[in-house]
Structure 1
């Protein structure tokens, strides 16, 4: 054979043994088929482990498959995962060669497994002039045999961890490695056997003690099992009672469920319209109530606004409306001053007395020597004076009229009038109120100072004529200022 092979381990060129070169084609096919079957069995078993025959077999064939004996093995394995179209030309050549070899074997009456010496080199050499067909047949036979040998080596390489073919040195090394592994496994086997013997001896000793312990445990377990059996019987009886009660409850609930279902049907059929009518009525009532609620909210908001306005209004200024014009000062619409009719002046003085009475009550001020008597246009001031004598001391009461009828009196001839005395007394009361206000606030000070019968440097006497008008305006200004202060600092 002209083709040479290299070692799969050391890449050394090899010379095949004559036993391989002397094999005929049928023997080569038999070797490859047996090796292929082993490889296919191994691969198919790995790949078909997760497959179910129902997934790839029809129902008719599946029945036949189930009727087959389970332990039977096929004569020839075929891989379902190998392509069916590979090496078609090679198989045809191999079949032709096999037919030639079979014809040769039939003529020689030899067995398949026997060694048949086929030396093509000698047959060619014996023929001095070989034909072209004989040369072609010879080359085909040589190529098919080389392919078969390559296939055998590939299959052997797939089945083992080593790459075939091997040289003699590599084969000897492989054999030595396998021998070492075999010796190591034998030593491990002997060690495990010795350990197993020791364990058996220990188990025999322990079994004797365990038998005695087991007898005691069996007695205890028997007693425990008897008691458990009795407990279980009692438990069974109680559970049976509970089961009966639950069954009765179940039957009652089923009856109740049927009643409820009937009621639900009646409601769905008959009472649904009534419910819709009631819903519409409720919606109408709700809309009416909503409108009423909106009206109440609006009125509530109006009252709140009114209340805010009332809170903002000054009750003191409303009760005592004091205004100062260019000519006269007025209180609640009544003027006071020179060349004003006396009824209007008397009314204005009466309003001043009412204002002073209100101020003293707000300040909780008690006038010891004075008493205000508000009587409208005929108001009075009562003045108390202490009169001392040798035997006792008494208080004298003097009534001062804070009004005038413009009658002729002797005092007017001397530029003095009874109303002047009343107005001076009025200024004294205002001075007492000022002192009380200073107690509330040390920094307070009236806009216009009062000194005896003058206020702001102007005489309060009626007989002062035009100057009296200015003093009345200043008096009303001080009273307005006192009223504002009391509003801010008292509750």
Structure 2
């Protein structure tokens, strides 16, 4: 069998040649291995004299010997061309001539190389079908041309002129349509450019929309947080309003200063003011009670806009005192350590100065139609508290040459006057 193989020029599959193209299948037939296109190759059907001449030239140019075991087969070497020839001369001629003929036939069939050869059977069938279609179309066009030629012979001169005019009109219409087509193509190009720009703008708008959605979600979340904060603030405001209403109804003086009694001893903010032989009270508590009393008098005077003369009241807890405005700012303590208290002149002077300040408050508060009316009178110069209801009893507020009972009684009357003052100030000033 020949080693020469052909490939289909369309599907690139190896070709299976027809039996008429195959070489002899006898086992003693061998192949020729040489350079193709040798100038000495012969074609099938050539002159016998030329074949003999080629054979003689071949025998003369190479030393030949018979292959062992293969009678009638020769093997030759040519030192100049370096090829080996196997088999009989008749088989060699037949192979070369058939291969050359097949190659030439394929080149002739290829023509202008529109359809190259060789082709496989499937590709050939497909090509033949296409050619049949083209032949059918060509035959139809030929029939149409024949009909046109026959019709042309029957048309008169006037009809021919009419058709010529129609043809010119159609040509003009064609030119117009071609121009419109060009304009449409230009418009199509512009439209394509506009479409591309619109698509780019759409992408940009899509990105902006995504960003806007993110911003919207963020703002909505902030809105919900603000709603929660607003709800919390409204709740706090509602609670604060309730507290405010309650505070408005609350008397600040009554809530801050609570004047009451503990048996025979008067109290202010639970601090006992005074002492009895049967009820001893430590002086730290008495001093704290005096500090609360001084703070109360200062608050009342500030409420009605009173500025004390002769003395300045300075409340400092259990170390409160008064400062003299006429005697080189001498400090008068409203506290004591309990040692020889009833002989302590400065402490007595401070309590008498305190009665002076209270008298100034009374005089200012009693002015007007709705003035204050205190139940117990004050004698500043003598340092006495008068009880009109008990037959005109007088109780000194000094500790010197006095008893604990009378001193405590004077302090009690003083606190009762303060309690009435708290009620009056609450009704007149706090409601405003």
Specify the TM-score bucket, using the shorter chain as the normaliser. 0.3 to 0.5
| TM-score normalised by structure 1 residue count | 0.36
More RCO (CA 8 Å, sep 6+): 1
Q: Greater helix percent: which structure?
A: 1
